[in-house]
């Protein structure tokens, strides 16, 4: 059903024709879409692509976020999660301590641990290996999706091992997938200005390239809404699209809406709902070689997530249990959500909820 969209702008018409004929959008196309205020046309076009790729299915997972340490050597300007060693609130958990935490919060049905944390230089690389090993031995049926590409780069620096060797050690300990964080905006100019003193653009991409070669399927993100230009965002999408062309190793793309450092910050300090929806839709249109675009309710809220499911998103994330990083930076959303609420949210958008595992294998379809 392609009759509803009416585009009077010739460039928009050309983009619509490109998308409908399976032609790849250019940098210029992406920037034009960002500068357009025709959210309905962009959203409907993205919806067509999502339906073509996944039908009406929208995926979610029963997962749990874990954070072994918040001690970090980096001082990224947008982060309010990190602490210095010995500072109030700083912590580094042992495997046994993390298992104790999990025992208190886990619920039946959890299929995935989503594990990220600070770059803590006060513990050796073996600590990070042993952390995974402890969880893997206690919960062998729960998939370990652990560490960002920036963390892998950090582990390489503190251990003297190559990316490949670091990943192989972690895989022996139970690692099954990498998280998508650490991408921020893939621009060295941006990273310098925002004090992203961790993996640079080429290192971020090389870690994922190496992981894909080792057979790991991974996730990738974009943290938008600070100083970057619209062109920076599109160049970011093109760089991960090119890597996906090369390896086919990405499972999903997750646009992350920047949160203000202060939880009491007003709406003018946050991305607008308009911008959030547009970013999800444009991501769907630019990333023609990605199966899924995720709407991350932690950053954009549950109701906007529901709308995003009609504008290109085909994944509603998961139950999470207790998210900390975005909430440390001022997210006003729930720290987690129940399976029942996720199902209700997806059905409310006229979609079919599908419970999945980490790799998008379907566990249960809720017709």
Buried b (16+ CB within 10 A) or exposed e, 176-187: bbbbbbbbbbbb
pLDDT tens-digit series, residues 201-246: 999 999 999 999 999 999 999 999 999 999 999 999 999 999 999 9
Whether 189 and 199 have beta carbons less than 8 Å apart is answered as no
Residue 365: the pLDDT is 98
The chain-wide mean pLDDT, for the chain, equals: 92
Q: Give the E-state strand segments of 5-118 in sequence order.
A: 57-61, 63-66, 112-115
Q: How many CB atoms lie within 10 A of CB 36?
A: 17
Other CB atoms within a 10 A radius of the CB of residue 267 amount to: 10
CATH topology of domain 30-361: TIM Barrel (3.20.20)
pLDDT by residue (tens digit) across 138-177? Answer: 999 999 999 999 999 999 999 999 999 999 999 999 999 9
Residues annotated in the binding site for S-adenosyl-L-methionine, as ranges?
78, 184, 195
Q: Give me the pLDDT at residue 210, please.
A: 98
Q: What is the pTM of this model?
A: 0.93
Residues of the chain with pLDDT under 50: 1, 3
CB atoms within 10 A of CB 121: 13
- Percent pLDDT > 70 in the chain is 90
**What is the structure's pLDDT at 197?**
83
Closest CA to 300 of 330, 256, 349: 256
Binding-site residue numbers are 72, 76, 78-79, 184, 195
Q: Cα–Cα distance between 241 and 127 in angstroms, integer? A: 34
Annotated binding residues for [4Fe-4S] cluster: 72, 76, 79
pLDDT of residue 338: 82
């Amino acid at each position: 059903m392609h009759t509803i969209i009416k585009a009077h702008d010739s460039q928009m018409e050309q983009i619509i024709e490109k998308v409908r004929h399976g032609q790849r959008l250019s940098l210029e196309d992406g920037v034009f879409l960002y500068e357009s205020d025709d959210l309905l046309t962009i959203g409907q076009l993205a919806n067509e692509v999502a339906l073509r790729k996944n039908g009406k299915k929208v995926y979610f997972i029963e997962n749990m976020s874990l954070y072994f340490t918040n001690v970090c050597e980096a001082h990224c300007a947008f982060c309010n999660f990190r602490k210095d060693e010995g500072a109030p609130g700083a912590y580094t958990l042992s495997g046994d301590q993390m298992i104790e935490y999990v025992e208190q919060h886990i619920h039946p049905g959890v299929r995935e641990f989503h594990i990220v944390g600070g770059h803590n230089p006060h513990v050796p690389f073996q600590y990070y290996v042993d952390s995974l090993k402890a969880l893997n031995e206690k919960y062998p049926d729960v998939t370990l999706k652990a560490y960002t590409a920036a963390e892998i780069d950090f582990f390489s620096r503190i251990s003297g091992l190559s990316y490949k060797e670091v990943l192989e050690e972690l895989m022996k300990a139970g690692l099954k997938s990498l998280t998508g964080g650490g991408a921020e905006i893939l621009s060295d100019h941006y990273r310098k200005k925002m004090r992203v003193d961790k993996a640079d653009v080429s290192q971020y991409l090389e870690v994922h390239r190496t992981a894909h070669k080792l057979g790991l399927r991974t996730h990738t993100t974009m943290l938008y809404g600070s100083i970057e230009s619209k062109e920076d965002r599109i160049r970011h999408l093109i760089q991960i699209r090119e890597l996906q062309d090369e390896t086919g190793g990405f499972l999903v793309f997750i646009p992350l809406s920047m949160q203000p450092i202060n939880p009491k910050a007003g709406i003018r300090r946050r991305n607008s709902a308009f911008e959030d929806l547009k970013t999800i839709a444009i991501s769907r249109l630019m990333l023609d070689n990605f199966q899924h675009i995720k709407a991350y309710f932690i950053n954009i809220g549950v109701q906007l997530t529901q709308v995003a499911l009609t504008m290109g998103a085909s994944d509603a994330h998961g139950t999470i249990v207790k998210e900390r990083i975005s909430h440390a930076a001022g997210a006003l959303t729930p720290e987690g959500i129940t399976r029942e609420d996720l199902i209700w949210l997806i059905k409310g958008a006229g979609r079919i909820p599908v419970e999945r595992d980490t790799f998008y294998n379907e566990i249960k379809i809720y017709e």
